[in-house]
Structure 1
Amino acid sequence: MILLKLSPITSIAQAQAMLETAINVEFGTLPPYLYAQLTILPGSNAPAMARLQSITHQEMIHLCLAANILNALGGSPKLNAPTYPGPLPGDIGHEGQVLTLHILPFGKPAMQQGMNIETPVDPIVFPQLKMLELAAVKAVTIGQFYEALDAYLKTLPAAAWHVGRNQIVDKQFFPGQLFAVNNYADAHKAIQVIVSEGEGASDSPLDFGKELAHFYRFEEIYRDQVLTSSDSKQGFSWGGPLGVDYTKVYPAIADPQLHDFSKEPTAARQAQEACTIAYSAMVDSLNLALNGNAAQLGIAVRKMFDLRMAAIQALHAPLADKHKVAGPAFIYKKI
């Protein structure tokens, strides 16, 4: 569960700060989700791979939509590459404790971490499902965070919105999913998309697009069961196996940012350097795209492809311990 302690919003400056936090929360989830995805062995775990790919794709869209709202309010988005293990931006926690994110290869711990990030206020308990009880906390979930932001934005006059300012409406890479935010109605729609795709509706595991929300996709993989519609009171039940094989994974180390690659073979060091260059270039291009240079979005997408290619190389380069490899460490260096 993502929890953010909430202060009353009384100014556009505070709303801008909240949106900056939200943008970097979305961005901070991408490396853990991508690492789990990249470490699945080719040709295996197709259902899990499809779910993880859709989640990372939507997180990118959420990042852009939040940036569109911030730009419409006159702010300037700035992505800050996180440190792993480490916290997401803002006062964020789980069950009253700060949530520390790790870079984990595909496996149950990585899926549990995804569930911890995406847990809604009241997860729906389906037949056969046994949920861990959540401790009562004073912090709020990301959904409640956006709800408070939405309530404040609703009070703003039309003059507070900067029509057409640095909006990302790219039709090549995210057709029909990214839209401009020029007024409260647009911002409200963007917030609904972000919250529903992450947590689902309060009485349904489905988002507004009638697809499973991120939390329940992670739980399908974690449980190795498909959540299917049924005649149960909740409208869904846990059905047959999804087809997860946690043995079909590269022997990748966890938290590669903590690893000393200077003592590793040349091929492993070079692969990590290629990952760092691609990741850094992607971050730089995204920052430019979010601040008015729309053409940089396409470049950022190409750098994501470069990162994937570098990650494949890294995952095939044994470390000194020949039974281990390392996926991308997601280290940012100003180029």
Structure 2
Amino acid sequence: MSLRRIATVEDLHQYLHVAMQLEHATIPPYLTALYSMHSTANQDAHRVIRVVAVEEMLHLTLAANLLNAVGGTPDLSRNDFVPVYPTRLPDGETDFEVGTRAFSPDTIKTFLKIERPAVADQGGSRFVSRDRSARTLMPTVNAHEDDLHFFSIGEFYAEIGEGLERLHHELGDDLFRGDPARQVGPAYYYSGGASVVEVTDAASAAAALRIISEQGEGLGGGIFDEEGELAHFYRFDQLLRGHYYQPGDEAGRPTGPALHVDWDAVYPLMPDSALDHYPEPGELQDAVTAFSRAYGDFLARLTEAFNGRPELLVPAVVDMFHIRDLASRIIRNPMPGRPGVNAAPVFRGLAPVGVA
């Protein structure tokens, strides 16, 4: 599958579905690193990663609002919605892959690459030309018969922004043909860093895209966004540099209080855990299966919430606590036959019992 440059509403629907898939694809890696830390250590690191994971949920919700606003249908229950890890983000990069792995310096370095600033080193081009990876999550862009890829998540969203502007110029307010009742508003979702935006017109669409881009890599590549919140790239950067950023700091040179990290206070989780890593019937297999089923239920609830029942986001918060507790049960178990390796949750949503 390849995407075209955004020329039609249907093209825009494709891009926004990929945006939802992309925002979600960062959440299992971030949660796995979060869950892997000992509960009595690394409170600073735990807080940093948790804030980013919550804001990725906000971005997922904003992408759903954008898709609903232009008449699309969010669907998180498709078989291909959750990637098989390791995968390539955002667009099949060959310089790194993303997996579900324990908290470590290498894991944080990968997170920095996910959130890297949006300026490609290609003379200002939004695209880079490279061989296609079989593990890429995002489709390529079919433009002028070249196999082009987005350099970063920021460049991908810049393309969506320009496509929205072009279509709004052509179609006027008819572009925003979606039912406003399907929008998730602040009454049902609040992340702490920014409130969710109900998308009903060009201005609110631009505001939603701005929040996603600025929280990821910062305002114009800066350290802080318009609300004064630290961008994800620099939140993660703090963990490697051992200090918090504060206003007035330069990129790569945080001067705030010390941020203490104990890289050893971590469960040695099975990297890129998959269901076939647990073939033996028993309590461990049951726990991993229960986690996967609960995660599938969570995605199903989000799908309903994004399709006209936003009130379901309130019990979805309870789902997240349940998922965390299930993960805690799993990660304390050694892997049978794998000395020094612990079990890990699998983010592959299973169908409810009795459903094929």
Query: Is TM > 0.5 for Structure 1 vs Structure 2?
Result: yes
1:132 counterpart residue number: none
2:118 to 89, 96, 121: 121
2:104 counterpart residue number: 107
Alignment deviations for residues 309-334 of structure 1 (CA, whole Å, 9 cap, x no partner): 10011122333246432221112211
What is the rounded CA distance, in whole Å, between the counterparts of 1:73 and 1:333 in structure 2?
30
Matches within 5 A, 1:228-247: 228-230=246-248, 234=250, 237-239=253-255, 241-247=258-264
User: Do the aligned partners of 2:188 and 2:313 also contact (CA within 8 Å) in 1?
Assistant: no
SS in 2 for 1:313: helix
Amino acid across the alignment from 1:12? V
1:274 aligns with 2:318: no
1:212 to 205, 230, 246: 230
Shift of 1:170: 4.7
What is the rounded CA distance, in whole Å, between the counterparts of 1:236 and 1:222 in structure 2?
10
Matches within 5 A, 1:256-267: 256-257=273-274, 260-263=277-280, 266-267=282-283
Shift of 1:151: 2.1
- The gaps in structure 1 that reach 5 residues or longer are 124-135
Alignment deviations for residues 233-266 of structure 1 (CA, whole Å, 9 cap, x no partner): x4883336410110011121211117521237x3
2:12 counterpart residue number: 15
Q: 1:161 to 1:327 in 2, by over 3 A?
A: same
Amino acid across the alignment from 2:309? N
2:198 counterpart residue number: 180
1:254 counterpart residue number: 271
Shift of 1:37: 0.6
1:224 aligns with 2:242: yes
What is the rounded CA distance, in whole Å, between the counterparts of 1:262 and 1:306 in structure 2?
24
Shift of 1:165: 4.5
2:333 counterpart residue number: 317
TM-score of the superposition, structure 2-length normalised? 0.81
Shift of 1:164: 0.5
User: Percent identical across equivalent pairs?
Assistant: 29
TM-score of the superposition, structure 1-length normalised? 0.85
User: Do the aligned partners of 2:188 and 2:310 also contact (CA within 8 Å) in 1?
Assistant: no
1:128 counterpart residue number: none
Amino acid across the alignment from 1:84? Y
2:175 counterpart residue number: 160
2:187 counterpart residue number: 171
Alignment deviations for residues 114-145 of structure 1 (CA, whole Å, 9 cap, x no partner): 1111001359xxxxxxxxxxxx9343322222
Q: 1:283 to 1:235 in 2, by over 3 A?
A: closer
Q: 1:212 to 1:71 in 2, by over 3 A?
A: same
RMSD of aligned residue pairs (Cα, Å): 2.4
Alignment deviations for residues 30-86 of structure 1 (CA, whole Å, 9 cap, x no partner): 000000011111121111111111100000000111110110100001221221122
1:35 to 32, 36, 41: 32
Shift of 1:283: 1.0
1:131 counterpart residue number: none
Shift of 1:270: 2.1
2:351 counterpart residue number: 334
What is the rounded CA distance, in whole Å, between the counterparts of 2:189 and 2:72 in structure 1?
24
Q: 1:215 to 1:170 in 2, by over 3 A?
A: same
Amino acid across the alignment from 1:332? G
2:91 counterpart residue number: 92
What is the rounded CA distance, in whole Å, between the counterparts of 2:15 and 2:317 in structure 1?
26
- Give the length in aligned residue pairs: 312
1:149 counterpart residue number: 160
SS in 2 for 1:202: helix
User: Do the aligned partners of 2:268 and 2:340 also contact (CA within 8 Å) in 1?
Assistant: yes
Amino acid across the alignment from 1:151? E
1:292 aligns with 2:308: yes
1:130 counterpart residue number: none
Q: 1:267 to 1:258 in 2, by over 3 A?
A: closer
1:193 counterpart residue number: 211
What is the rounded CA distance, in whole Å, between the counterparts of 2:238 and 2:227 in structure 1?
18
SS in 1 for 2:253: strand
Amino acid across the alignment from 2:304? L
User: Which deviates the most, 209-218 or 19-28?
Assistant: 209-218
Shift of 1:173: 4.2
Alignment deviations for residues 82-115 of structure 1 (CA, whole Å, 9 cap, x no partner): 2112235xx7033xx2753211101112111111
User: Which deviates the most, 170-179 or 53-62?
Assistant: 170-179
What is the rounded CA distance, in whole Å, between the counterparts of 1:109 and 1:256 in structure 2?
17
What is the rounded CA distance, in whole Å, between the counterparts of 1:59 and 1:327 in structure 2?
21
2:124 counterpart residue number: none
Amino acid across the alignment from 2:128? V
Shift of 1:177: 1.1
